[in-house]
Amino acid sequence: MDVTMTESEELLRQTVRHLGADLTVGSVGEFDDYDEARGWKSLAETGLLGLRLPESAGGGAGSTFDEAITVEALAYNSLPVPYLGGAAFVGALLLAANAPDETLARLASGELRCSVGLTNDLSSLWGLSPSTGAPIAFDSAGSNAAIIFDTSDGYRLRAVALASEVKSFDLTRKNHEVDPSKGVDIGPLGSEIAPEVLVGVMARLLTLVSADLVGVMDAGLATAVEYAATREQFGVPIATFQAIQHLCAAQLVSLEGGRSLTEYAAWAVDQSDANEAILAARAAKAYCSRAGRVVTEAVVQVHGGMGFTWDCMAHVFLKRALTDAKILGDAASQIQEIAVLRSGRI
């Protein structure tokens, strides 16, 4: 047992953090006009879009742990490029459906631009649970289509057209409504997905959203600590006040708790059975969803009045954390599922 990152994992993390810092916006005002296509191209060129895909499709054959590191490092930079929704989510579904290499290769190269359809309340993949309203293509900047489940004959993937863009609370992402009646051809999407495979897919997606939350919390806390060191009141930096120090310290404790759960879940997706993986993933998602909100609210608090201005990054972190918290089920719904999973074990 060695619960520390290997050298190559640490190197990946540093590399993606640097890349994310180079690619991302310089200020809040730049989110609107961000050249998303250029960012997407860079992620393709560095091999990140195919990180988890097989080598036969031009991918990097990386682990879910590597993918979680990547999601976290890009989230740390609030990168407004849909890596989570457009690459990681799509890749997970295509792999589960055994999509042919030709399709996967187009994802790895950056040519395939699509997203995944969620239920209107964002709590589930569309088609897996009853829902009203049109599906929402999550994290769909640059997307030409959304993948949804067709459950008329087992679980199969189907590509459908995007409708109009939905106004996004999260400044770093775009979402679209989806027209499930309008199929589009984005190439072969594989075959029927067995229900037990779906459990593993769910574990993977929940883990990746948790990793996103870890990145957001980490960035938010770093920003708050930096601000506190420069902002002076009563003639001294506010970072010297115990009230500020203790608030920040408590957030680091939550962040590190969430990080530990997420790292284990990311490992378990590849290395444990599906039951353990889904339990670990739901635990990570439950904890990070709650912590993500508390930590980023504290980030706003440390910034005082500044934290309520559009140009301050604090609300960018808060809004991304609140969005992540809802994606694929909030803390309360994860806790309900965990109660069921645990009671089955006694």
Partner 1 sequence: MDFNDGPDEARFRGELRDWLRENSPSHDADGDHGEKGNVANLEWHRRLYAGGWLGLSWPKEYGGKGLTPIYDAIVNEEVGASGASAPSVGYLGRAILHFGSDEQKSEYLPSMLRGDVQWCQGFSEPGAGSDLASLRTRAEKRDDIYVVNGQKVWTSRAQWADWCLLLCRTNPELPKHKGISCLVFEMDRPGITVHPLKQTWGTAEFNEVFFDNLEVPVSRRIGEEGDGWPLATTVLAHERGPADIGFISHFQHQLQEFEALLQRLPHDQRAEFAPRVAQAYVSIAACRLHVLKSLSLRAKGVAPGADTSIDKLLMTRVEQELGALSLDVAGSAPLLGTDPETVYRYLRSRAASIYGGTEQIQHSIVAQRILGMQRA
Residue 206 to residue 189: CA distance in whole angstroms = 22
Q: What is d(CA 26, CA 297) in angstroms, rounded to the nearest whole number?
A: 22
- CA–CA gap between residue 160 and residue 114 (Å, rounded): 10
Please state the closest distance from residue 332 (CB atom) to partner 1, in A: 7
Which of 34, 227, 264, 317 is the binder for partner 1 (CB under 8 A)? 264
Is residue 299 a contact residue for partner 1 (CB under 8 A)? no
Of 23 and 278, nearer to partner 1 (C-beta) is: 278
Q: Cβ closer to partner 1: 49 or 248?
A: 248
Closer CB to partner 1, 179 or 276, in the complex: 276
Question: In whole angstroms, what is the distance from residue 118 CA to residue 128 CA?
Answer: 9
CB of 286 to partner 1, least distance (A): 5
Q: How far is the CB of 299 from partner 1 (least distance, A)?
A: 13
> Is residue 332 a contact point for partner 1 (CB under 8 A)?
yes
The answer to whether residue 195 forms part of the interface with partner 1 (CB under 8 A) is no
44, 51, 217, 228: which one contacts partner 1 (CB under 8 A)?
A: 228
Closest to 148 in 3D by CA, of 171, 175, 114, 173: 114
- In whole angstroms, the minimum distance from the beta carbon of 252 to partner 1 comes to 6
**Structural tokens at position 211:** 């990793």
Total chain residues near partner 1 (CB under 8 A): 49
Give the number of C-alpha atoms closer than 13 A to the C-alpha of residue 264, restricted to the C-beta side. Answer: 17
- The 115-154 contact track toward partner 1, x by CB under 8 A, reads ----------------------------------------
Give the H or E element holding residue 16: helix 7-23
Stretch of 121-129, 142-150, 187-195, 244-252 lying at the interface with partner 1 (CB under 8 A): 244-252
Plot region of 122 (φ>0 → left; ψ -120 to 50 → alpha; else → beta): left
Residue 234 interacts with partner 1 (CB under 8 A): yes or no: no
Place of tokens 């890009």: 74
Ranges within 198-227 binding partner 1 (CB under 8 A) = 221, 225
197 binds partner 1 (CB under 8 A): no
Q: Which of 133, 138, 144, 141 is nearest to 122 (CA)?
A: 138
* Interface with partner 1 in residues 7-36 (CB under 8 A): 9
- Note whether 335 and 289 are within 8 A (CB): no
Whole-angstrom distance, CA of residue 201 vs CA of residue 92: 6
If one asks whether residue 4 binds partner 1 (CB under 8 A), the answer comes out as yes
Rounded Cα gap, residues 40 and 144, in angstroms: 14
By the rule CB under 8 A, 244 interacts with partner 1: yes
Give the whole-angstrom CA distance, residue 53 versus residue 82: 17
Binding site for partner 1 (CB under 8 A): 1-6, 9, 65, 221, 225, 228-229, 236-237, 239-242, 244-246, 248-250, 252-253, 256-258, 260-261, 263-264, 266-268, 271, 280, 283, 286-287, 332, 335-336, 338-339, 342-343, 346
